[in-house]
Amino acid sequence: MTEALPIILVVLAAAFAVLLWLRLPRLVVERSGRIVLLGALFVMPLGLVQVGVSQSLHESKQKEFCTSCHEMEVYATSLQIDDREYLPAYHYQNHLVLQATACYTCHTDYTMYGDVSAKMNGMKHLAIHYFGDIPAAGEIALYSPYPNDNCLQCHRGTRRFEKKASHTTSGVTLELLYSNQKSCVSGGCHDKIHEIKDLASAELWGPPPFPIPESLKRAAAPGGAEDPFAAPAAEDPFADEPAPAPATTPPAGDVK
Amino acid sequence: MTGLKWLRASIVLLFIGIVCELIALLDLTPPTFVAFAFVGIPCLVIGMLIYLVHVWRLLRSKDAL
């Protein structure tokens, strides 16, 4: 029944439109017909626009909407990483953000036009999805550095946040955090975000919602030569020094 | 165009808009959202405007305004 519902509704709408079309000459001359036209051509569409806009905006905040694009599946899977150091996973699994709207909560700027800008970025993503070069799994980057306001919309002023020792020591002050001069996700702080490169090797809390891409599995495999995420190899501090000469015993006759 | 033709154009636009909205509401994905936002809503709004202009012109022709 649910599969047939859209077709039924479209057929009903089409039947109503055809009826209006055919009865139009009579409707425009009769008083009751004009009332029908007012309802069909103005009042009903006005209500439909209002309902449609509010409902579609609401639905587009859901996690399922974001992950309906294949590129976002790995990010949804990263929310299942079983390690509290991974910030999105920790927030998601412990309901520190609403699970149903987790993407929207953290990735919509907490500003006056945050919603509008998120929707415009969404349009850009869709254009790239269909017409552009899609980055590989885990190589999608933010347009701009992650703003602290997105964290502070919940954490600002909370006792646990302000009393935490690491927020008030070693070069970090609440003022720096509140003014966005020191990023919450900067190195050494909360710097483990989605970390897609770790996905294949990380333990997950429950079954993955989407299969992990083969490219990530190959990269995580021991000895994987094609690891695109591998950190650059540490330089050998002794590389420039000449190799020590092999110890040789001088011939007895050379000793002076 | 005569008045009836304008009204028929309005019916067609509103029908297209309603179909886009139905599809978006029943299965909202990024493509259906964009179709609703960029096709459905403009069709609905233009359809309503055509009807309103038709009524306004009718009322003016009868000196009711």
Compare B2 and A18 and report the one with higher pLDDT: A18
| Nearest residue on chain A to B25, alpha-carbon basis | A56
Q: Which of A42, A49, A68 sits opposite B51 (nearest CB)?
A: A42
Between the alpha carbon of residue A33 and those of residues A26, A47, A105, the distances in Å are: 7, 20, 48
Tens digit of pLDDT for each residue in B10-37? Answer: 999 999 999 999 999 888 998 999 999 9
Tens digit of pLDDT for each residue in A10-58? Answer: 888 888 888 888 888 888 888 999 999 999 999 999 998 999 999 998 9
Rounded to two decimals, what is the model's pTM? 0.75
Tens digit of pLDDT for each residue in A92-119? Answer: 999 999 999 999 999 988 777 778 888 8
| Nearest residue on chain A to B53, alpha-carbon basis | A42
* Residue to test with chain A: of B6, B8, B22, most A Cβ within 10 A: B22
**Whole-angstrom distance, CA of residue B23 vs CA of residue A5:** 10
Q: Are A212 and A204 in contact (CB under 8 A)?
A: no
pLDDT value of residue A225: 45
C-beta atoms surrounding A237 within 10 Å: 7
For A81, phi then psi, to 5°, come to -60, 130
pLDDT value of residue A222: 66
Q: Provide ipTM, 2 decimals.
A: 0.91
Provide, as residue numbers in chain A, all residues whose Cβ is less than 8 Å from the Cβ of B52: 42
Q: Is A1 on the interface with B (CB under 8 A)?
A: no
Q: Which residues contact B3 (CB under 8 A, 6 or more apart)?
A: A28, B54, B57, B58
Q: Where are the domains of chain A?
A: 11-59, 61-134+193-221, 147-184
Query: Which range among A3-7, A183-187, B5-9, B14-18 shows the weakest confidence by mean pLDDT?
Result: A3-7
pLDDT value of residue A253: 38
Q: Is A69 on the interface with B (CB under 8 A)?
A: yes
Burial of A31 (0-12, 13-18, 19+ CB in 10 A): exposed
Q: Where are the domains of chain B?
A: 3-61
